[in-house]
Amino acid sequence: MATTTASLQNFIDGEYVDPVEGQTEPVLNPATGEVIAHAPLSTAADVDRAVTAARNAFDGWATTTPGERAGMLLKLADAIEEHGEELAALESDNAGKPIEAFRNDEIPFMVDNLRFFAGAARCLEGRATGEYLGGYTSMTRREPVGVIGQIAPWNYPLMMAVWKIGPALGAGNTVVLKPAETTPLTTLKLAEYAGEIFPKGVLNVITGHGDPTGQALVTHEQVDMVSLTGSVETGKWIARSAADTLKRVHLELGGKAPVVVFDDVDMSTALETIAATGYYNAGQDCTAATRVLAASGIHDELVSGLAEQARGLVIGDTFSEDTTLGPLNSSRQRERVEGFLERRPTHAELVTGGAEPDGMPGFYL
């Protein structure tokens, strides 16, 4: 657990740098509510600095061979694996994740993902597209898009960063990545590892809010494509803004994952599966089981069983191997969830939970 307050910097052109205007904001540990770091409040000037670095690095990076790019992605995967404990401690501190879940579930998964992206980098094949004029052969050729502006969410900070930079770098693009303002620690640490592997300017990380940092990144004329994992409303705004400069967009937006349970279900399997997908990461997941539709014959048994599963979750120190339920990401997120409970229909019964645990600091619910 962190005992000192870190002063974070943006990672631009292969080095850590202070924000142009020098402004920072506190970063909190959601399990305690304590300040654990101060992160840059980047402005349009910082975005321009990062985009310029990415643009200057693009020509050289785009002409590397797929094998060279794959080799560097494999080295980054090895670095994450080697420094797994350090990353787990940072993610637990900054995102409130139970350390055991991050260590055993997310680290191996993202390492495997990066190795997959490395392999995919060597399979960027074109194809013949037919004879459109006598004596000529047409074919497609896959080339890098250019500078990619990426905006990652707070629920899986490091994993989402890996999912964004891996395919982009593997295809020969350069990147400016903005992590969520509440969870920048592991992404900035990832940049440190990447800085020892990739050429300067290929990967840049800046911190800040959607306005002005994200807005400046999306509207920058030298950014060729924007990738967002975030809300539907933010995705709509990005799509509209990107149209002004004809940017490509890649949007992974909010989702729901309904579960339909029939009378002939294996109840123990259903309870285990729904609880795992609904309660993991404190339910902060776009694929969480947020709506369960149950046949009338098994409805009461299912509700009772899911309530029992919830009561069995262990709330506590995120660094304890026994803890299975961490806090929500921020006070704002907890207020949002409390609002859902307050606005529930009059016929809806709260079977268990729904209150802040007694004597627990931070943003638990």
Local structure of 178: helix, strand or coil = strand
Quote the CATH superfamily of domain 258-342. Answer: Aldehyde Dehydrogenase; Chain A, domain 2 (3.40.309.10)
Token pair belonging to 273: 């599966």
The residues, any chain, with a CB within 8 Å of residue 113's CB and separated by 6 or more, are 159, 162, 163, 166
The reported pTM is 0.92
Query: Residue 349 in contact with residue 306, Cβ under 8 Å?
Result: no
Say what the pLDDT of residue 247 is: 96
Q: Quick one: which of 221, 255, 245, 230 has its CA closest to 164?
A: 230
For 227, the enclosing helix (H) or strand (E) is: strand 225-229
For 102, the enclosing helix (H) or strand (E) is: none
Per-residue pLDDT tens digits of the chain, which is 365 residues long: 444 678 999 999 999 999 999 999 999 999 999 999 999 999 999 999 999 999 999 999 999 999 999 999 999 999 999 999 999 999 999 999 999 999 999 999 999 999 999 999 999 887 777 777 888 888 888 899 999 999 999 999 999 999 999 999 999 999 999 999 999 999 999 999 999 999 999 999 999 999 999 999 999 999 999 999 999 999 999 999 999 999 999 999 987 789 999 999 999 999 999 999 999 999 899 889 989 999 999 999 999 999 999 999 999 899 999 999 999 999 999 999 999 889 989 888 888 888 888 888 999 99
Delimit the domains of the chain by residue range. Answer: 6-124+144-252, 258-342
Local structure of 154: helix, strand or coil = coil
Catalytic residues: 252, 286
Say what the pLDDT of residue 1 is: 45
Say if residue 1 is exposed, middle or buried (CB neighbours under 10 Å; 0-12, 13-18, 19+): middle
Say what the pLDDT of residue 4 is: 61
Level-2 CATH architecture, domain 6-124+144-252: 3-Layer(aba) Sandwich (3.40)
